[in-house]
């Protein structure tokens, strides 16, 4: 297995082989997560700093669980309890943490580009856990993993990415990742929630008509409206948005019989996704995505940090 990356910041730096290596490794970690003792000594002696300067439920908790299950030591750091509120710069903060001889920084920040800056000044492995409206590569990997498990393959699948494309870091990584793996991608959004250059993301088709797009899709990936990232509403009201762009019980009838539904979370129920679809026993793989978050983050930490194989195949 050749895997020569130090950082996971930009998914476009990863080839289809690199991504497949991560997905296969994540699948191997499934058996660790299904044991009574869910722990291997793979990263014993490694220290990982989880620097979350923006709120998170799924990403933060699954990184912490992944680190614990690999026996790494975790330091959870960030937000208003740090000396940044006293004016300490990002670079000084990172250099301070690196003085402890840490091995990896997992970072979420409201500013795009912060993970790359940390990689430039720290010398340790950096994993982007979501930066501004830019990228969220481990989210894309767990999405690919969940779709791969559900469908058995990725190449040739037609995936629709629906909703707030303009403010979404999820699609900043997901759409390029789907293209790297050979999927056909249709972006569906109101014109006011499309970026100025939607072609930059690499989607094959762009439309504002959800009802026309749905019957063609194997996977429907619904995005949350990122209300925290803009002022004023780029749609008349949330009810109107739900009528035009929500995945509702009514629209279930437009889907292929085996189409599945994804969402990165957190869900705005009744806005982009009705509870009927979010909790649909056959279509929704949203909680599978959450579980895949642990597997993929274990895989990424293991591959980036070059831990031992002890206990993985036992
Ligand atoms: N999908 C995602 O990034 O969720 P959190 O904000 O809860 O981490």
pLDDT above 70: residue 311 = no
122 within ligand 1 shell (Cβ under 6 A): no
CA–CA dist 143, 129 (Å, integer): 14
CA–CA dist 111, 53 (Å, integer): 10
Take residue 171 and report the two structure tokens written for it.
């699609």
3-state helix, strand, coil in the chain (%, to 5): 45, 15, 40
Percent of the chain clearing pLDDT 90 (strictly above):
86
Q: pTM of the prediction?
A: 0.95
Binding site members: 58-59, 86, 108, 136, 139, 169, 224, 265-266
Give pLDDT tens digits for 200-216.
789 999 999 999 999 99
Cα within 13 Å of Cα(70), Cβ side: 34
pLDDT above 80: residue 230 = no
- The region of weakest confidence among 67-76, 176-185, 188-197 is 188-197
Would you call the peptide bond into 63 cis, given omega within 30 degrees of 0 as the criterion?
A: no
Among the listed residues 178, 192, 26, 53, the one whose alpha carbon sits nearest the alpha carbon of residue 109: 53
Q: 54: CA distance to ligand 1 center in Å?
A: 10
56 within ligand 1 shell (Cβ under 6 A): yes
Give pLDDT tens digits for 12-51.
999 999 999 999 999 999 999 999 999 999 999 999 999 9
Q: 56: CA distance to ligand 1 center in Å?
A: 5
Take residue 72 and report the two structure tokens written for it.
């790494």
Q: 229: CA distance to ligand 1 center in Å?
A: 15
139 within ligand 1 shell (Cβ under 6 A): yes
Query: By alpha-carbon position, which residue is closest to atom 4 of ligand 1?
Result: 58
Among the listed residues 203, 158, 153, 198, the one whose alpha carbon sits nearest the alpha carbon of residue 176: 203
Query: Dihedral of CA 288/66/265/210: which sign?
Result: negative
CA–CA dist 119, 210 (Å, integer): 40
CA–CA dist 268, 220 (Å, integer): 16
Long-range contacts of 206-215 (CB under 8 A, 24+ apart): 210/162, 210/244, 210/245, 210/251, 211/251, 211/254, 213/160, 213/162, 213/186, 213/188, 214/160, 214/251, 214/254, 214/255, 214/259, 215/254, 215/255, 215/256
Under DSSP, is residue 294 helix (H, G, I), strand (E, B) or coil? helix
Cα within 13 Å of Cα(46), Cβ side: 25
pLDDT of residue 79: 83
**Domains identified in the chain and CATH numbers:** 11-136+292-305 (3.40.50.1370), 137-290 (3.40.50.1370)
Query: By alpha-carbon position, which residue is closest to atom 7 of ligand 1?
Result: 57
Angle between helices 169-180 and 16-33 (to 10 degrees): 110
Binding site members for L-aspartate: 86, 169, 224
Ligand 1 atom with the smallest distance to the CA of 61 is 8
289 within ligand 1 shell (Cβ under 6 A): no
CA–CA dist 114, 91 (Å, integer): 10
Higher pLDDT, 307 or 209: 209
CA–CA dist 153, 183 (Å, integer): 10
- CA 63 to chain CA mean position, Å: 12
Take residue 98 and report the two structure tokens written for it.
């690196």
Query: By alpha-carbon position, which residue is closest to atom 5 of ligand 1?
Result: 56
Q: 283: CA distance to ligand 1 center in Å?
A: 21
Measure Cα distances from 219 to 2, 79, 86, 159 in Å: 30, 36, 46, 5
């Amino acid at each position: 297995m050749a895997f020569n990356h130090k950082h996971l910041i930009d998914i476009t730096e990863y080839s289809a082989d690199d991504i497949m290596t991560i997905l296969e490794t994540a699948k191997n970690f499934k058996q660790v997560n299904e044991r009574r003792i869910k722990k291997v000594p793979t990263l014993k002696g490694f220290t990982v700093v989880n620097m979350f300067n923006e709120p998170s439920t799924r990403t933060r908790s699954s990184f912490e669980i992944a680190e614990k299950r690999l026996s790494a030591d975790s330091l959870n750091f960030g937000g208003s309890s740090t000396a940044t509120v006293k004016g300490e710069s990002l670079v000084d903060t990172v250099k301070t943490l690196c003085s402890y001889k840490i091995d990896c920084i997992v970072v979420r920040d409201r500013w795009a580009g912060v993970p790359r800056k940390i990689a430039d000044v720290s010398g340790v492995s950096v994993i982007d856990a979501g930066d501004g409206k830019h990228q969220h590569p481990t989210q894309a990997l767990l999405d690919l993993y969940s779709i791969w498990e559900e469908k058995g393959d990725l190449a040739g699948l037609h995936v629709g990415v629906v909703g707030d494309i303009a403010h979404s870091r999820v699609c900043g990584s997901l759409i390029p990742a789907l293209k790297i793996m050979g999927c056909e991608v249709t972006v569906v959004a109101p014109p006011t929630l499309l970026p100025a250059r939607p072609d930059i993301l690499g989607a094959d088709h762009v439309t504002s008509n959800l009802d026309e797009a749905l019957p063609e899709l194997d996977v429907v990936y619904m995005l949350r409206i990122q209300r925290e990232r803009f002022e004023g509403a780029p749609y008349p009201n949330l009810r109107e948005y739900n009528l035009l762009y929500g995945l509702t019980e009514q629209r279930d009838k437009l889907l292929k019989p085996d189409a599945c539904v994804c969402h990165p979370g957190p869900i705005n129920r009744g806005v982009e996704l009705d509870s009927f679809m979010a909790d649909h026993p056959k279509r929704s793989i949203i909680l599978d995505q959450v579980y895949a978050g642990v597997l993929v983050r274990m895989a990424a930490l293991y591959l980036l940090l070059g831990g031992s194989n002890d206990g993985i195949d036992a």
